Structures are given as C-alpha cells and as structure tokens.
A and B are shown apart, each in its own frame.
Chain A
Amino acid sequence: MQELADAGARVYALSYDEADALKDFQQAYGTTYKLLSDPDSMVIRHFGLLNTLIAEDDHPWFGIPYPGTYVLDAEGVITHKFFENNLAVRVGPEQLVRAVCGESISVEAIEQVAPTEANARVYLDGDNLPACVQRDLVADLTVPPGRHVYASPAPEGTVAVTLELDANPRIVKRELIRPPSEPHSLGASGEEFQVHHDRVRLRLPVTINGGLTVDNDSPAVTLSGILKWQTCDDEVCDIPASERFELSIPVEGPIMPSFMGPDDQDSPEPNAGKHFQRMIERRQG
C-alpha cells in the first residue's frame, strides 16, 4: 500500500513453503513484498509459533505456524502484534497502516458544532468488508475543553465511553480497543478515576462472516449500534449521552478460494499440485 511505502516500511512474509513455490506465487500475483522460505519451520520454531496441535506425521499440515503479524519500528522493536485464534480472520491493511504510521495519518478534524457538547462520529476504517480481512469500526468522540469522559470501568453511577454493535450474524467482532486513559481525581473526595480528554478514539475490529458472504440478494451489510458516553467537569456530570449509528458497508465475496487443496484449478498458487505433492513426499522422508 502507498501509505506503507510512504512510511518507508518494509514488508516480509514467511511460510514453510519451498522457495520455488513462493517464486511461483510471487510471479503469478506480482507481489512486491519479500516472501521468505522456512521449509523446515526453523524460524517458526525459534519464534515459538509452531502449531503443535497438528500431529508431526500429519503431512503436509505439520510445520505451519500460528499465523500472525509483527510490526517493528526503525530500531527493530516490536510495537504491535496481530494474532487471531480463527485462521479465517486476518489483519487488514488499514490496521497495519495505523500500526506503522500511528493514528495521525487518519485523523480528520471533527467540526465542533457546539463547543460545550461532545461530538461523535462512527465510521469503518476501509471501503468495504471482504471475507477474512479484519477492519476496524472506529468511533471518534471530541470532548469539549475542561471536560472529560469516563474510561472503563467507570465509577458507580456513571457511564464509561463505549461502542456497542447490534447483534448481527453476518459480523464477527473482536474486543473493543480503547485508547490509554489518564487518572483524574475528584477535588472533594480525592477519589481517583480513569478518564479521557480532548479526542477519544475507540476501535472495534470486525470481519464479515465468511460463510455468509455469498449472498447476492444482500451485497451490503448493515453495521448498527450505539456509542455511549458521559461528559463531566470537576463539579458537574451531564446526563449520559448516546448516539446511534447505522452504516451500510459493501461486502465482497471471498478473496480466498473456498477449496484448500492441491488441485491447480481451484488453488491460488500455480503448480500447486506439484508443490503440494512435494511437500508431502519431502516430509514423509
């Protein structure tokens, strides 16, 4: 992606495939990131990522990692990790761009319509929802100067800022990602609570439900729900506020073939049959 190139980020992808299998893939798809070959799963083991749920004689599946992604800064320090239990959910390019570039790249000013009120906006970080690719539903809240909203958990009787998605069988959601909060103590009692000031951004990772994407009658999915918050200053709390949202998001069919096997016709990889057979034979010794 252009944003990653602009940030000077290099992209690497490692698997247990043979180098020539990766070369075939690279040529077929014109990939520009570097593909790395670890056919004996040495790197995968060194990182502690070998999928040990697969029996050692279960060829050719044994040797794959628990798939995941690391984001490194210029010094080589890991700044973010993306790992998922479900193989059908992969980190989305927008999520990687935000991790590499920080939030500032996507910050858009929210017009402060009423300087004493919080302003909210909910949107999808991305244009659509393709199968398997995770994207973030984002809620931006602008808190007026001199006021705060409560972080989670909120003090008893108050409402923490939160983003709730209505139940929808077409959407798989993960845990809400909250920004770091700041301590705030009440003058009178000295009680301390966690709050947010200025600009609050919540991210809810969502993926379109793979098995339900092929629905020609409904090429879009509705993401609806509610954003809740409560603004306060040191003396007074406003009554809890909320804003409902309803977004219609285009759904794309599966970007991965539904068939996982050595048949060239259905595989994403040229010469897949040959490579697949060799993977099995090599491991059977």
Chain B
Amino acid sequence: MTIEMETRAEQTENGWLDQDGFEGPFRPGNGPRSDPKGKFPTGPSVGEHMPDVRCIDADGEAFDLHADRGDSPAIFLFFRSAVW
C-alpha cells in the first residue's frame, strides 16, 4: 500500500488550517501532523481475533491483553502521546 501524506493547508494567524478546517500550530504534513491522505494501514480486520498485546503498563508491570481482560469485552486504543 502506498501511503500518501495529507499536505493541503492554508496559513492563518494562529497556525495552519487543514482541508477539514481544523487549525493547529504545525503545518499539515509535518511532525505530529503527519496525517495520511486516502487509504492507510489500520491493522487487523473486523472479524479477526485481536492479536495479543504484550508490553508494560504505567506501573512498569508486564501486561498481556487477553490474560488481563479474561472474558470481558474490551476497547483498545492506539493513541499518539500523553506527553504532547
């Protein structure tokens, strides 16, 4: 899959306006504002079993998604950062 960068933007007093009209300090197509244009990878599909996730939690403890959730339904978010 070739992934294209969304770079359409308009400069404003406060930063940059993207093609949807959202304004931010970074110009679209740069750093944290590197959004894809058109199709982009979204990982496993609906209907597939969620791959296991093994990493650490905020306490530094080992984490295993399916072991932790047991037989509960779950919402799993991939987000960019809690720092910026």
Contact = CB atoms under 8 A, between A and B. Distances in A.
Interface of A: 4, 7-17, 19-23, 25-26, 34-38, 42-44, 46-49, 51-54, 58, 60-61, 64-81, 83, 85-89, 96, 100, 132, 169, 172, 209-212, 258-262, 267-269, 272, 275-276, 279
Given A4-B75, A74-B72, A88 B18 contact: yes
Most buried by B among A66, A100, A279: A66
Contacts of B63: 34, 36
A4 B47 CA distance: 21
A279 B46 CA distance: 33
A85 B51 contact: no
Given A8-B73, A72-B69, A78-B48, 20 more contacts: A12-B69, A12-B74, A15-B79, A15-B81, A19-B58, A22-B58, A23-B58, A53-B34, A68-B78, A69-B77, A74-B71, A76-B49, A81-B42, A83-B40, A88-B20, A88-B22, A89-B20, A100-B73, A172-B21, A209-B22
A64 B73 contact: no
Contact of B80 (A4, A67, A73, A212): A67
Contacts of B78: 14-15, 44, 47, 49, 65-69
A100 B75 contact: yes
A34 B21 contact: no
B50 A72 contact: yes
Best-buried of B51, B65, B83 by chain A (most CB within 10 Å): B83
A73 B51 CA distance: 13
The 3 closest A-B pairs by CB, nearest first: A211-B23, A210-B22, A88-B22
Most buried by A among B12, B34, B78: B78
A71 B6 CA distance: 27
A226 B35 CA distance: 32
B64 to A, nearest CB: 11
